[in-house]
């Protein structure tokens, strides 16, 4: 009887020791999550420089358009700057914009209330996450307060970016809109 108790106690000690070793080995390793880096493997490409112009291109990219004027910016595909450069807000002191969006998430429409004590001339773009424009670009020119309604009812459930730009094409504010159902 004593021998059976000693054997059971020994197995319990071994099991606890193995559990402790497993926990220590699991906790001692750094956690590795999935990281997706922006990268492109291309078979051909070119980078050309002149006094005030730089053009780079690769073949095999999907086309995602970014146009601009003023200082001339044209980017397409994977060579675009990181998405973090476009998402968020840039404070431009002379605009002093206050934009509220509701409801978000939405099933059909969103209501925008845009306020500015100064005259504001904005361009509004709605993009899907691939950068494709889902509504035509709108120009909004106002002083004080303006209200707009956007109808998302015909769009599939997805996440969209509502991007506001100033008259020079610089991103002023960006919002993530979630369309459900």
DSSP track, 59-107: SSPPP-EE---SS---EEGGGSPPGGGTSSB---TTT--EEEEESSSBS
Does 99 map to a domain? yes
**pLDDT for residue 107 is more than 80:** yes
Per-residue pLDDT band at 3 (split at 50, 70, 90): confident
Does 4 map to a domain? no
> The pTM is what?
0.49
Before 170, cis peptide (omega within 30)?
no
**CA–CA gap between residue 173 and residue 32 (Å, rounded):** 33
Per-residue pLDDT band at 8 (split at 50, 70, 90): confident
In a 3-state reduction of DSSP, which class is residue 17? Answer: helix
Does 156 map to a domain? yes
How many domains is the chain built from?
A: 1
Q: How many other C-beta atoms can be found within 10 angstroms of the C-beta atom of residue 29?
A: 8
Expressed as residue numbers, the domain containing 159 is: 82-179
Does 146 map to a domain? yes
Query: What does the pLDDT average to over 92-120?
Result: 83
Does 49 map to a domain? no
* Tokens describing residue 102: 């509701």
> Could you tell me if 158 and 128 are in contact, meaning their C-beta atoms sit under 8 angstroms apart?
yes
- The closest of 149, 148, 161, 158 to 179, measured between CA atoms, is 158
Does 166 map to a domain? yes
How many alpha carbons lie under 13 Å from residue 58 in its C-beta half-sphere?
14
Does 28 map to a domain? no
Does 95 map to a domain? yes
Question: Any idea what the CATH number is for the domain that residue 101 is in?
Answer: 2.60.40.2550
Per-residue pLDDT band at 12 (split at 50, 70, 90): confident
Buried b (16+ CB within 10 A) or exposed e, 101-119: beeeebeeebebebebeee
């Amino acid at each position: 009887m004593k021998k059976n108790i000693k054997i059971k106690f020994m197995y319990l000690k071994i099991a606890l020791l193995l559990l402790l070793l497993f926990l220590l080995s699991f906790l001692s390793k750094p956690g590795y999550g999935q990281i997706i880096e922006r990268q492109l493997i291309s078979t051909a490409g070119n980078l050309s420089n002149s006094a005030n112009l730089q053009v780079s291109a690769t073949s095999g990219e999907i086309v995602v358009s970014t146009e601009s004027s003023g200082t001339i910016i044209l980017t397409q595909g994977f060579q675009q700057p990181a998405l973090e450069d476009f998402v968020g807000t840039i404070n431009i002191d002379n605009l002093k914009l206050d934009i509220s969006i509701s409801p978000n998430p939405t099933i059909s429409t969103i209501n925008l209330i845009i306020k500015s004590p100064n005259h504001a001339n904005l361009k509004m773009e709605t993009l899907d996450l691939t950068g494709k424009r889902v509504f035509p670009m709108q120009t909004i020119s106002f002083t004080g307060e303006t209200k707009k309604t956007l109808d998302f009812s015909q769009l599939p459930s997805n996440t969209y970016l509502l991007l506001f730009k100033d008259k020079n094409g610089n991103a002023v504010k960006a919002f993530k809109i979630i369309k459900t159902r």
